[in-house]
Structures are given as C-alpha cells and as structure tokens.
Amino acid sequence: MSDESGAPKKQDETPKPPGGEKPAGKRKRKKPNFNKPFLVAGIFLGIVSGLPFLNFPNLILFAWAWIAGIMAAKIFSGIYPKIKLQHGAIVGAIAGILGAVIATPLSATSSWALSKWAFKNANAHEIIRNVNMPWKSGNQQANLLNDVLLRWFPRPHHAFAIMSWNKVDHPGYYVDKKGLRLSDPESTGVPVRISAGTAAARIVLHFLFLEVGFFIFGTVGGIIGASIYAYKPPEQARPPDADAEAAKTDAPEPTAAGPKNPFENDAK
C-alpha cells in the first residue's frame, strides 16, 4: 500500500491490547441426548416383557427392567462419555415408562391369541381323550392338563406374566359356566371368557403394575449402569526424568561461603 506521494505506507505494528481484539463467541455446551438410550432400551423392555415365556424373568424383581436400565446407561455413555448417576437414573426411568407402554398391549394381545388358540374347536375333555397317556387315570389326566394350561396361561394375579382372559376360581384353576373346574368329570370342559369390563380393568391394572415396577427398577438399573460405565479420566504418564528433577529441587542449595569447617571452633 502507498500514499498519494508514492511512498510506501507503513503498517501499524503496535501490538493491540488484550482487550482490543473482538472476543470470540462463547462455545455452546453440548447437552446430553437422552432419546436414543431410552428408545432402544424401552423398546427392548416392552418386547421381552410383553411376549409369553420371555417375560418370566420379570418374576424376579422385574429383572428385565434392571437389564434395560443398565442397557440405557451403556448406550448413553457411548454418546456422552461424562455420564453421571443422575443421567443413568433419567434414561433408566424413561426406558421403564416406555417399556410398560409397549408391553401392556403386546401382552394383552398375545395372551388373548394364545388362549383362543388353545381351546379352538376342542374342549378340555376332548383334548384329554385324544392324548395317549395310558399310565394316567382320567382324573389324573384332567389335573395334568389343567397344570399344563396354567403353565401356558398364568393366573391373573401374575400381572407381570401373561394376562388371563378366562374365568378362574380362587386357587387359579379355569372353570366352566357352571363354576366347575375343567378337571372335574362333570364339567363341560369349556372355559368361560371374562366380560369386556373385567378385561378392561385387568388391562389397566396390568399397565399400572408394570408402570410402577419398571419405573422403580429401571431407575435402579440406570444408576447401576452409570456407576459401571462412569467416565474415568486417563492417568497421565510420568516423564522418566521427573524423579531426577524432583530430587534436584529438593536438595539444599550450597551457601556462598562454602561448607562450614567442623574444626573451626577447636582452632580458636
């Protein structure tokens, strides 16, 4: 650059004060993203808790909810390495809530389909007559069949297992329209379906039971997962000459007059 006379124009080389420069914009802090952890863990929890036989681990303190909470914390730690206990609790709790929302209709639908298929075109006595069990008497066969049916279709108070769509007596055995157990020789062998109102009430109770249980134990599982996968800063490697430098700094410095003569007082 030059001025009007043709002489080159000198640039201002004076350093700018620290406050003279325009401060750069503040870097926005990245907020944790909870969507993927609770979606994956919640869908997993809903499927395994809503399908027959797969949901039996929930009989042990909602085991699937614990596992889903740990899974959510694990996924979250991969997205946000500096995971804390409150993060694990949040993703575990939300995964539990979502799992109950998915598991309730899935459990109701699958149990209804299974119970309808089990008694299709045959009642209990017809099934017994067509099953070759010569080592059992008729009454023993009926009781055995009832036990098998109970294994396939758990009792209604097992709210975390498959819902029952048929009427049962107090011990949990299926009954016919007369109130007789299906194992009774005088029974018609045809189970009685529950009413629509009873079915709706059972679905609501089933949902509330799962919601509370999954929320509590999903939160606990998330806290456990956060403690397992918590961020641990890497240890800094100590340089090999660090000990030598530390020894030099700790050594006393010699005085200007030199070391003191131990025989100085004796000479005087």
Question: What is the spatial distance between Cα 182 and Cα 199, in angstroms, rounded to a whole number?
Answer: 21
CA-wise closest residue to 70 among 233, 227, 232, 231: 227
At 134 the pLDDT is: 46
Domain-by-domain residue ranges, the chain? 35-228
At 56 the pLDDT is: 80
**Residue 105 structure tokens:** 């209709």
Encode 50-63: b = buried (16+ Cβ within 10 Å), e = exposed: bebeebbbbeeebb
Mean pLDDT by 10 residues, the chain (268 residues): 56 53 56 85 94 82 95 93 92 96 89 67 46 48 53 42 63 76 74 80 85 95 94 69 61 57 56
